[in-house]
Amino acid sequence: MRRRPPPELPENHDRWLVSYADFITLLFAFFVVMYSLSSANDGSYRVLSESIVSAFNKPRQTLDPIQMGELVRSPLAMQETPDTVSMPPVTIPLRADTAEQEPAADAADNAAALDTLSGALSEQVPDALAAKGVNVKRDRFWIEVEINSTLLFPSGSGVLLASAVPILSDLAETLTPVPNRIRVEGYTDNVPIRNALFPSNWELSAARASSVVRLFESSGIDPVRLSAVAFGEQNPVASNDDEAGRAKNRRVVLVILAADARAQDERLQGLSVRQQ
């Protein structure tokens, strides 16, 4: 007999319910999460509200300048009542001048010490060195020992000449026992320099000042007292229009500062005024 084919199963049209149920489940989970995030803590909300209210209720702060020194009084007299207590005005004194704070005895001692040291340094500069460009100058707050660079360095170099070592060693022998700070300042002329060692006159003047500082340190001067400063072609003492003026500008200056807090500030202020 001929076998009867199996009956065809009807097509299931309800499979979309599975996807729909998954979608509804995910949507429900999404709204549960959103609701949990949107529910605020009452205590935290109350603290935040009080903070905002207190910030807006603070008294207004003025932008007027604060009175320093003597208080400016109103022309109208203040009427005192038994409930008020009159207090003396509080005066914030401005910083007094350092010269008034410094005892006269200390100022005299500093001046005497500088005079003695200036005389000792002047004795170490014979007429031959003075003619070549070594000068000792006495100022109120410091001593300057100006040395022409041709006595210390070859042209365009920051390495000391062998003949410069005795000159600087004699100066270091005099400066070692004193407690004054020593600042070595390097200067050049305005002729540009650019090589592998010195891209500009700043580096050249810094190298020359540092070379003198290293020699002073090796000669026994406490390195705490030493500092090297580079000025480059700034603060010339003569015109750079001719060779004679440029030769004067190429120099190293030893500045022996007085034991006075104003010495360094006065020195820098003097250089600034001279440059103008």
Q: What is the pLDDT of residues 189-217, one digit of tens each?
A: 999 988 888 999 999 999 999 999 999 99
What's the fold here for domain 149-275? 60s Ribosomal Protein L30; Chain: A; (3.30.1330)
The predicted pLDDT at position 133 comes to 77
Tell me the residue type at 188.
T
The residues spanned by each domain of the chain are 149-275
- What average pLDDT does the segment 91-97 reach? 46
What are the C-alpha distances in Å from 179 to residues 71, 217, 225? 44, 14, 8
Query: Minimum mean pLDDT among 55-64, 110-119, 122-131, 237-246: which range?
Result: 55-64
pLDDT bin (cut points 50, 70, 90) of residue 160 is very high
182-187 β-sheet, strand order: 134-138, 142-148, 251-257, 182-187, 226-232
Q: What are phi and psi of 231, to 5 degrees?
A: -110, -10
- pLDDT surpasses 80 at 267: no
Residue 271 has what pLDDT?
58
- Both tokens assigned to 15: 């499979």
